[in-house]
């Protein structure tokens, strides 16, 4: 499956059309501001996604702060919890937080085991213009499902963003979704079919 996803992404890299364009108009300072904002949101996900401040009991305020990171509480996100027959690989933010309250009394431990990688901004000339950017990070998830310990040692999370072209609105930026490699490739493919130049180049935030 990973090889298939890589092939799809490589195909997208060579797709050219006229309706969208790879961004050349962002200054270095603008890119830095965008990177810092996205980095902040990703690390807030890691912080509030533990749902615990002390590591042994749930922290109620973290639930609201976690939900506020996303454009909608009904948004489907990659399920990082152990497989539940009632849930698919993607669940809504609401369903995710409900599962935490019901079954993970001590919260979670989320550890980044790689640096954040960002795709280069892709300009979308929409009615309200924006840039497509994906931030990727490998994480380790550890916790207790009720009284049974579990660990998911390597999960790759792709955080999808639509960054407003008017950077004065950057403070309102939120996560549009969290996907695996296969799904994020499908999302970019949809833009490609509409007409987009996907000049995707990953770089690390040091």
pLDDT of residue 116: 94
Q: Give the domain extent around 104.
A: 2-204
Distance CA 180, CA 6 (A): 12
Is the pTM higher than 0.75? The answer reads yes
Look at the chain and report how many structural domains it folds into: 1
> b or e along 118-144 (b: 16 or more beta carbons within 10 Å of the residue's beta carbon)?
bbbbbbbeeeeebbbbbbbbbbebebe
Distance CA 158, CA 184 (A): 7
Both structure tokens of 130: 């924006």
pLDDT of residue 25: 72
- CATH no. for residue 156? 3.10.450.50
> b or e along 16-40 (b: 16 or more beta carbons within 10 Å of the residue's beta carbon)?
eeeebbebeebeeebbeebbebbbe
Which DSSP string corresponds to 90-141? EEEHHHHHHHHHHH-TT-EEEEE-S--EEPPPEEE--SS-EEEEEEEEEEEE
Distance CA 92, CA 84 (A): 14
Going residue by residue through the chain, which has 206 residues, state the pLDDT in tens, using 9 for 90 and above: 555 555 555 444 444 333 344 444 788 999 999 999 999 999 999 999 999 998 889 999 999 999 999 999 999 999 999 866 566 789 999 999 999 999 999 999 999 999 999 998 888 887 888 999 999 999 999 999 988 999 988 899 999 999 999 999 999 999 999 999 999 999 988 877 665 444 444 444 43
pLDDT of residue 13: 44
For 204, the enclosing helix (H) or strand (E) is: strand 203-204
Both structure tokens of 52: 């615990």
For 62, the enclosing helix (H) or strand (E) is: helix 60-67
């Amino acid at each position: 499956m990973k090889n298939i996803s890589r092939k799809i992404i490589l195909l997208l890299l060579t797709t050219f059309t006229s309706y969208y364009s790879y961004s050349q108009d962002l200054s270095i300072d603008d890119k830095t501001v965008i990177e810092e904002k996205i980095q902040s949101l990703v690390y807030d996900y890691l912080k509030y996604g533990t749902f615990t401040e002390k590591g042994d009991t749930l922290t109620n305020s973290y639930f609201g702060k976690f939900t506020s990171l996303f454009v909608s509480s009904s948004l489907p996100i990659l399920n990082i919890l152990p497989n539940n027959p009632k849930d698919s690989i993607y669940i809504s933010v609401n369903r995710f937080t409900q599962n935490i309250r019901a079954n993970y009394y001590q919260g979670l431990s989320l550890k980044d085991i790689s640096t954040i990688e960002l795709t280069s901004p892709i300009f979308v000339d929409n009615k309200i213009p924006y840039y497509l950017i994906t931030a990727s990070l490998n994480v380790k998830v550890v916790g207790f499902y009720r009284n049974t310990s579990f660990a998911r040692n390597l999960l790759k999370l792709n955080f999808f963003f639509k960054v407003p072209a008017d950077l004065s609105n950057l403070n309102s930026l939120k996560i549009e979704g969290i996907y695996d490699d296969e799904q994020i490739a499908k999302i970019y493919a949809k833009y490609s079919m509409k007409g987009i130049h996907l000049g995707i180049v990953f770089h690390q935030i040091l």
